[in-house]
Amino acid sequence: MRVVTMAARKGGAGKSTLSILLAALFARANLKTVLIDADAGQHTACAWSGQRELGWPLVVAAADPDELALLIGHARERMLDFCLIDTPAGRTTVTDAALAAADIVIVPTKCDVADRWALQATVDDVNALEKPYLVVPTEVPAKRLGIEALDLRRLRRDMADLGDALWDEQITDRRSISYDLAAGRVPSETDWSGLTNTECRALWRRIMDILQRPQPLS
């Protein structure tokens, strides 16, 4: 089983949205997937799951590090394929536990200046644990004639040190995502070949590339 932790100290970076999109995409591909909602203050993933009729992905809540460890253990026993963990903003004990359990950390970030400033702190948390990670630009204005929006180009300039840990693609700003979520759906179910799902599939491929890379022995 692979553990994919979504983390960003910045609130509203897109953690919950991306964790739901990916979990549902994996489930749609017949991979046994659990999404652990470790954000007790909001429970966005649980609220989305409450709107759904489909049983996959499983969505369960973890209120603290002990519950999180228990749920990850259950998922391993049941030999699930993926365990995604949505974490709260800020630095919390449950986020630390989710980072420690991760095979890969996905760090969503918007491109506003406050997001750019906050990003380094999250990257430092992940680097301290020597975890593979990928920074994913989210809610990015659509490309025009194939050219990325100015804010994303600024993010790439400011965070050039990240190298290929900053994903070279983007999750574009789309209102339809929130309409889908409100109905307990996701773009992989409503619009398979649409932009959001195409981007999510590209992200999945990138995640698999990183997971399959040999990791340095510690």
User: What is the b/e burial string over 83-94, where b = at least 16 CB atoms within 10 angstroms of the residue's CB?
Assistant: bbbbbbbeebeb
Q: Which of 33, 49, 95, 138 binds ligand ATP (CB under 6 A)?
A: 138
Total number of residues that touch Mg ion (CB under 5 A):
3
Write out 135-193 in H/E/C secondary structure: EEECCECCCECCECCHHHHHHHHHCHHHHHHECCCCCECCHHHHHHHHCCCCHHHHCCC
Q: Which of 23, 155, 166, 177 binds ligand ATP (CB under 6 A)?
A: 177
Among Mg ion, ligand ATP, none, what does residue 180 contact (CB within 5–8 Å per kind)?
Answer: none
With contact defined as beta carbons under 8 Å apart, do 203 and 171 qualify? Answer: yes
Residue number with CB closer to Mg ion (44 or 190)? 44
Question: What x-and-dash track marks residues 77-116 binding ligand ATP by CB under 6 A?
Answer: -----------xx---------------------------
For the bound state, the minimum distance from the C-beta of residue 30 to Mg ion, rounded and expressed in Å, comes to 27
Question: What x-and-dash track marks residues 3-22 binding Mg ion by CB under 5 A?
Answer: ------------xx------
Angle at 4 between CA 67 and CA 135, to 5 degrees: 130
Residue 139 found at the interface with ligand ATP (CB under 6 A):
yes
Q: What's 217's DSSP letter?
A: P
Angle at 190 between CA 187 and CA 192, to 5 degrees: 65
Q: For residue 125, which amino acid is it?
A: D
Chain positions contacting ligand ATP, by CB under 6 A: 8, 11-17, 39, 42, 44, 88-89, 138-139, 171, 173-174, 177-178
Chain positions contacting Mg ion, by CB under 5 A: 15-16, 44
